[in-house]
Structure 1
Amino acid sequence: MKNCPNCNSEMEDHFELCWNCNYSLSQGKVVEITESLPGTRELDCLRCGIPMIYSGNYRFHEGARMGILGNIFEIFLNRESFDLYLCPKCGKVEFFSPRTP
């Protein structure tokens, strides 16, 4: 464990940002963290360079339904949620972990 130089709170050894005051050890200052709503990322397409459009949050799961008991087995499947952005010009699609407000 180590202590934050700004507020003296205990931090895990592998943390670079203080959980209490947002002091960044790598930058040597308190970092301003802005909360953002889903779909508010400003992204440009890596191919075309034009702004990408937020298409929504999509939930995916691994596995398939198994007959009549398919809904029961759904609880054992891995589920992931992603924000999907797409380029209106070339059709490139990018997935990102969703930001939670």
Structure 2
Amino acid sequence: MKTCPNCKSEIEDNWDLCWNCNYSMIENKVIEFKETTRISRKIECLRCKIPLIFSGEYKFHEGAKIGFFGNLFEAFVNREKFDLYICPKCEKVEFYLPQKG
């Protein structure tokens, strides 16, 4: 374990970025992460009538990897992306097509 020079938190030896304050051991400074803007949907749970929480964009594909040539056959499968929303009360999951922003 090593110690972050900025916030004194313990960091794994193989990490170059502090988990607590985003201090970079390589650049010797705190890294600022810019948040991406996203068009938010106002979607309510059909059961609970409370707003769904956006969980992220997930990528799925149809088909299975076949033996040794599995990665080669990945080029021929159908891939889809969906936005995933979750109800915090009943834990219902809903998929929507990603919005263009």
Shorter chain as normaliser: what TM range? 0.5 to 0.7
Give the letter for the 1:43 counterpart.
Answer: I
Name the SS for the 1:54 alignment partner.
Answer: strand
User: What is the aligned-residue RMSD (CA, Å)?
Assistant: 1.3
Once the 2 structures are TM-superposed, how far is the Cα of residue 37 of structure 1 from its aligned partner?
2.0
TM-score (norm 2): 0.61
1:37 maps to 2:19: no
Count of residues paired in the alignment: 65
C-alpha displacement at 1:88, in angstroms?
0.7
Moved over 2 A (4+): none
Identical aligned residues as a percent: 58
Structure 1: give runs of 5+ residues left out of the alignment: 1-35
Residue 79 (structure 1) shift: 0.4
Q: Residue 66 of structure 1 corresponds to which residue in structure 2? A: 66
Instruction: Give the distance between the partners of 1:88 and 1:79, measured in 2 at CA.
Output: 28
1:92 Cα offset (Å): 0.8
Residue 78 of structure 1 aligns with which residue?
78
Aligned-residue offset at 1:68: 1.2
List gaps (5 residues or longer) in structure 2: 1-36
Residue equivalent to 1:57 = 57
- The 2-side partners of 1:75 and 1:52 are apart by 34
